[in-house]
Structure 1
Amino acid sequence: MNRLILLDSGPLGMVTNPQAKGLPLACQQWLKRLLARGERFAIPEIADYEVRRELLRAGLLKSVHRLDNLKQTLEYIPIQTETMVLAAKLWAEARQTGQPTADAKALDGDIILSAQARLLTNETTEVIVATTNVGHLSRFITAYDWQLID
């Protein structure tokens, strides 16, 4: 079984930092190490959106450029209609069970990412979300703190 690692917005934001030190630098080294080993990584469109909007708001154009370059290097997973249909179902189920993951009026990125991960998972592909926020995601899909994925 092959493995596909989806970058959530936390790790994705760290790897776009052009002056990385500390944890962001460790995240960049982690990504390079696993890529060199042949691991598959992908950027979900919802994570790109969450990171990009904040980089643009903060005027961090070098980081936006790095994000654009990363999209050319890694796989990119666009949001499809079936993703949004499944995300709506997951969102409703979470609310019906009293376990919402975001404000009722918020566009719930975690739910959309979970739907993308579920749709990519099959008999031959294990999908793991690399994140800094395991809590909400792990209720729906396989998600680990990026530092624990090796």
Structure 2
Amino acid sequence: MIVFLDTNILGLVCNKNTSFDESQQCKKWFDTIFIRGVRIVTSDLCNYEVMRGLKTSSIRTGQVAPGIKSLESLRSDGFLEFLTVSTEALDLAANLWARASASGQTTRDEKDIDIDIIISAQYQLLKDEFPGQRVIMATTNLKHLSLFCEAAHWQDIKL
């Protein structure tokens, strides 16, 4: 099994606010699936979105957000694989967006970059690369992502 973390789940895993119950539960879930040998991936775009929020918080408070170190260590310690955005993924994303737009199922205004479409394209390429494995997107954004990939709330992804 391969679990692809959407931005909102990556943010929960990196959250250092120990009083935030959902974050604690999500970290336990992440640790459990990692220990059981699940391959866990995310996109560099999800990393960007989470890091952007953490750095903005750091500038506003004048203190380095603790989640920054957590996010960086996920990459450096090998707990999480970060997928780069390839030209192939961008081409597929443009195709997905055009088909969704033609059928009235767009997720964003046409002037937006629409990261959901790009990570959905990355998901589809990953699924094509590993045809015998289940690939699932862990998210809280089922409305948009389930249009383009198998997606589930992280709590519903069981082994």
Q: Could you say which TM-score interval applies, normalised by the shorter chain?
A: over 0.9
Q: Identity of aligned pairs, percent?
A: 39
> Counterpart in 2 of 1:19?
17
- Which amino acid in the other structure matches residue 27 of structure 2? Q
What is the CA–CA distance in structure 1 between the aligned matches of 2:48 and 2:109, rounded to whole Å?
A: 18
Is 1:149 matched with 2:148?
no
Contact 1:43 1:71 in 2 (8 A): no
Post-superposition CA distance 1:87-129 (Å, at most 9, x none): 0111111111111101221110110010000000132232111
> Counterpart in 2 of 1:66?
70
What is the CA–CA distance in structure 2 between the aligned matches of 1:47 and 1:127, rounded to whole Å?
A: 17
What is the CA–CA distance in structure 2 between the aligned matches of 1:49 and 1:94, rounded to whole Å?
A: 25
What is the CA–CA distance in structure 2 between the aligned matches of 1:129 and 1:46, rounded to whole Å?
A: 14
- Which amino acid in the other structure matches residue 157 of structure 2? I
Which structure is larger by alpha-carbon Rg, 1 or 2?
A: 2
> Counterpart in 1 of 2:94?
88
> Counterpart in 1 of 2:61?
none
Q: How does 1:6-85 map to 2 (within 5 A)?
A: 6-20=4-18, 21-59=20-58, 61-72=65-76, 73=78, 74-85=80-91
Is 1:100 matched with 2:106?
yes
Structure 1 gaps, min length 5: none
Instruction: Report the TM-score when normalising by structure 1.
Output: 0.93
What is the CA–CA distance in structure 2 between the aligned matches of 1:82 and 1:113, rounded to whole Å?
A: 12
Contact 1:15 1:28 in 2 (8 A): yes
> Counterpart in 1 of 2:136?
128
What is the CA–CA distance in structure 2 between the aligned matches of 1:63 and 1:10, rounded to whole Å?
A: 13
How far apart are residue 33 of structure 1 and its match? 1.0
Local SS of the residue matching 1:86: helix
How far apart are residue 61 of structure 1 and its match? 2.9
How far apart are residue 13 of structure 1 and its match? 0.2
Contact 1:94 1:100 in 2 (8 A): yes
Local SS of the residue matching 1:120: helix
Local SS of the residue matching 1:140: coil
Local SS of the residue matching 2:134: strand
Contact 1:18 1:62 in 2 (8 A): yes
How far apart are residue 43 of structure 1 and its match? 1.9
